[in-house]
Amino acid sequence: MTLHADDVFAPLDDDHVLQRLAGGNETEVYKTDDQRYVVKVKYDLGGARDQALNLARWMRDTAERYTACLGERYTIPTYFVVARGSDGRAHPLAIQPFLSKACPLDAVDYRALLPAQRAMIAAQLSEILRRAHTFYRATGSMPDLYGQSARNSDERRSRKSITRLPQRLWSFLVKRTLLRSHNLVLIRDPEYRIVLIDYDPVRRGRLYRLTYFAVRRLLMLRDLAVLAWLRLGWLN
């Protein structure tokens, strides 16, 4: 268990110390002491209060759009607040309910599942892909259904270096299929429900976003084939 102290947690914790759960490509994820909420912080975002407020509104608007894209069944609520951290800067925080019985799809052992359970997962992921594709055709964007994880900030910085570009491309185009998603989690209830937990906007220029989403659309064909293999039990 790794504990992290920061004044940015003041809206949710009296001693400003939370347990770190995970980290993504841009985000650090923490859990409140009462295990009710997850707190997500992007330490590279923030600054003056008004700047942080504008960022929080932008993130909230994007989250609302992506939630509407997938619908209530495949999403969870996300709330945004602005708090001043120990670094003196104001940061936007994303707050979500803590899903104690959930695990990322990347951690699921699909071979250990019953055929009916694999079929439920495949059906839900097919519907999520369909909704994301419909949203892309209407808006030119879609939620990130894949995501990444990082053990710490050093690993995150190392991954972004130019020398790691071949590995990043291999992961993006080949290795990181929908079944290995970090942003989609499986809730092990009777329905084996899948929900998206990341609703972040793409923080790059227009040309990058156009290329990124167009490639993601093409990779949906790969993932439809992967889901067909899942139904048939053709897994390594």
Residue 158 Cα distances to 24, 152, 155, 205, angstroms: 13, 10, 5, 22
Domains of the chain plus CATH, in order, are 2-97 (3.30.200), 102-232 (no CATH)
Residues with Cβ < 8 Å from 167, sequence gap 6 or more?
159
In tens, the pLDDT along 46-95 reads: 889 999 999 999 999 999 999 999 999 999 999 999 999 999 999 999 99
Is residue 206 predicted with pLDDT exceeding 80?
Answer: yes
Give the pair of three-digit tokens for residue 4.
């992290």
Q: How far is CA 45 from CA 57, 83, 168, in A?
A: 13, 12, 23
- What is the pLDDT at residue 55? 94
> Within the chain, how many helices (H) and strands (E) appear?
5, 9
pLDDT in tens, 124-159: 999 999 999 999 999 999 999 998 765 555 555 555
Separation CA 197–CA 233 (nearest Å)? 27
Residue 149 confidence (pLDDT): 62
